[in-house]
Amino acid sequence: MSEVLVVGTLKPSLAETLTGSYGARTLPGDGPERDAFLAEHGGTVRAVVTTGRFGVDAALMDALPKLGAVVNFGVGYDTTDVDTAAARGILVSNTPDVLTDCVADTALALYLDTLRGFSAADRFVRDGRWEQEGFPLRRRASGRRVGILGLGRIGRAIATRLEALGATISYHNRRPVADVPYAYAESPVALAAGVDVLVVAASGGSGSAGLVSREVLTALGPDGHLVNVARGSVVDEHALVELLSSGGLAGAGLDVFADEPHVPERLRALDQVVLLPHVASGTVETRADMEALTLRNLDRFLHDGTVVTPV
């Protein structure tokens, strides 16, 4: 009898550990096989291990009557119904802190690449165009006005890196942060209207869906740049594509998208956009730390019914 269920695809070494050391089973995909699996095994499951890409919705919770914890590999948990989990006394954990530096490094890299056009310049050289024409001028990266949407752990780490470039930093949160030297903007629109670059580091989930709306992007303006290392759901992707295509925005650096791994064809065709396949935390060291913390959360729950890093 296994008390641990894997939902979705996990890092191979983590999946192997869960299978070998915990006897974990993996939930089949949708269809009769999944239904049969849940009918046979759903009543034994105490803990689910998953990622922000898959999560656990209310319907799956219904099929797991003894579920006590959803253990997320990753910081994002917006695909898990946390309200239903809370109402049922189901703990939800994630892996904060251990990925902060790598995500902040990625935000900085996207910031530099988006303004300076390094990826586009690389393509320019590889395509042999340098022999016939000059690469167009891009924007200076130092001394810019930068707005950070979401000044949590990752937002602060991004701000620290940008300070080294002489950036003037402002931010918006649900509420002001007491111990920071940065100017607070009353709304995302107000933040975007006063900066050259808007960096999105807000948490995902229903509360932040569409937070970077068409109005926010319009306020950022035709000379503005967007960097997103949060969740694709935070940005109105349709409006983003329209404004980038029409000149309403100067450029964007994106690690996340609304319907991953699917990226709109119009977005892929834009040369002033830098596109990454959701790799902000994708380093050997960080993923090892995330795996270790995931297992610590699972072990703690199975031992005493608590988790190390509850959300």
174, with CB counted inside 10 A (0-12, 13-18, 19+), is: exposed
According to DSSP H, which parts of the chain are helical? 12-22, 32-41, 58-63, 82-87, 100-116, 118-126, 153-163, 188-193, 214-220, 237-246, 265-268, 284-304
CB distance 18 to 4 below 8 Å: yes
Exposure on the CB side of residue 85, measured as CA atoms within 13 A = 23
260 as an active site residue: the answer is yes
Residue 127 structure tokens: 């395509």
Give the single-character DSSP code of 9: -
Strands 4-6 and 25-26, by their bridges, are parallel
278 as an active site residue: the answer is yes
Cα separation, 202 vs 151, in Å, equals 7
Residue 110 structure tokens: 């996207």
- Catalytic hit among 144, 278, 287, 300: 278
- Catalytic hit among 16, 40, 260, 285: 260
- Catalytic hit among 231, 287, 291, 300: 231
285 as an active site residue: the answer is no
Q: Which residues are catalytic?
A: 231, 260, 278
